Amino acid sequence: MKKQNQTLHVPVFSDSVFRILAEKSPNMIFINQNGRIIFANEKCEEIMGYKRSEFYSDDFDFTALIHPESRCLVKDNFMKQMRGEEVAPYEYKIITKDARELTAIHTTKLIEHEGEKAILGIITDITARKQAEEAVLRIAETVSATSDRNFFYSVAEELVGLLKSDYAYVAEVLPDSPERARTLSLIADGKVIDNVEVVLSGTPCSTLSGKKTCSYPSNVQELFPDAPMMAKLKVQGYAGTALYNSSGKQLGLMAVMFRNPIRNVTMAESILQIFGAHVSAELERKQAKEQIMRSKKEFEILMENALVGIFKTNLKGEILLSNRTLLNMFDFTSPDEMTTLPVFTDRKISKDRNEIIKKLKQTGKVVNFELNAVTHNGRSINILLNATLEDNIISGMMLDITKRKTAEKALITSERKFRTLYNQASDSIFLLSFKSVEI
């Protein structure tokens, strides 16, 4: 059974409160009676581009405001409402005076004005939200298949397409110089421009710190006379948003710029905010990835320049990681030759191997363990081993102490010879002294 829509009795034009509320509303509000618009608030003029005198004209056709693909829907709902049936809010498309297409939510109510039925309508413009949602979905679908660079350019291109801006960019603040930023993507007049580094001081970008968004709909050049780039690009309108990481630290910024005043500031800020969360996350991921790459590079440099042999093996001795010093220590020329670590596979030192494995399993580490090993070329070397065991992976360092051990042996031999000579000399002196006494 269809729910009947009771007529709402509202003395529209005699009620000053209604007029005040309608004029202050952020949504478009109108009254349609007998196919004619008899009331339209200021927002209707602002968004649709018509003057109220045009709306109220006898020959004005309100269907011209409705997109062709939505006219049947609106007509059907209008007829239902006039029959007293309840009509739930619905989405439809409208057309502005300058032929822009907008998506809106239409909420209507049957009222009575001057003894006749009329339709009170509230129109909420959701164009920005719809476009931003669609753009974010498109970007989300492609981000996993694109590089960091392509992602940020996709964002800039989407911003230009959605907001019809002359310029759009995504930039990151330089970690060691927060007053400067480097663009990750830059679009000008629909073309990709080489990235640039800029000083933020004195520009609209400098006012973003600590804010979600900021906008200057017009007169940007006059407001920021110390920003020569604004004058060079003939920028009149600017809207931007700061990009923060999960800890609240500003990583960068994203903005659009216009040669003419911004027509719809609310839409620009809304889209920038929606994009901002996604771009912030991607920028944070990018910087984390770069930090990992830097750490990896630094580790590789340390590995290759270390004076000790560094390794990782499984319990079978199969090498998972090794540096150049370790290869040289065992007389190998390339990692392909050294597939296992002799310390853990050489049968001649199985006793030492068993003791090492036993200590690792019992305590998780081996400290300053000395052992002898044989290299790939058959040389005998002395090694000092430090290692740990975690998740059945042995990680450790080896120091070739062969020269030190040889020196120690030579020193011991030298000391022995010295003592022998010293003792012999002492005996001779004693005998000479004794004979002298006798004489």
The pLDDT value recorded for residue 10 is 46
Considering the chain, what percentage of its residues have pLDDT values greater than 90? 44
Asked whether the predicted pLDDT for residue 374 surpasses 90, the reply is: no
More confident residue, 342 or 11: 342
pLDDT tens column, 249-262: 899 999 999 999 99
The pLDDT value recorded for residue 433 is 58
pLDDT tens column, 192-241: 999 999 888 889 988 887 777 899 999 999 999 988 888 899 999 999 99
Asked whether the predicted pLDDT for residue 425 surpasses 70, the reply is: no
Token readout for 33 is: 């009676």
Asked whether the predicted pLDDT for residue 185 surpasses 90, the reply is: yes
The pLDDT value recorded for residue 209 is 74
Asked whether the predicted pLDDT for residue 414 surpasses 80, the reply is: no
The pLDDT value recorded for residue 9 is 47
Asked whether the predicted pLDDT for residue 263 surpasses 70, the reply is: yes
The pLDDT value recorded for residue 13 is 46
Mean pLDDT of 409-428: 70
More confident residue, 385 or 138: 385
- How buried is 221 (Cβ within 10 angstroms: 0-12 exposed, 13-18 middle, 19+ buried)? middle
Domain architecture of the chain: domains with CATH:
8-125 (3.30.450.20), 130-297 (3.30.450.40), 306-400 (3.30.450.20)
The pLDDT value recorded for residue 139 is 67
- Mean pLDDT lowest for which of 128-132, 176-180, 217-221, 323-327? 128-132
- Mean pLDDT lowest for which of 140-144, 205-209, 264-268? 140-144
Q: What is the pTM assigned to this prediction? A: 0.60
pLDDT tens column, 33-62: 988 999 999 999 999 999 999 999 999 998
Mean pLDDT of 395-414: 83
The pLDDT value recorded for residue 140 is 66
Whole-number average pLDDT of the chain: 85
The pLDDT value recorded for residue 195 is 92
- Mean pLDDT lowest for which of 88-102, 129-143, 158-172, 199-213? 129-143
| Closest to 211 in 3D by CA, of 263, 171, 248 | 248
pLDDT tens column, 56-87: 999 999 899 999 999 999 999 988 988 888 89
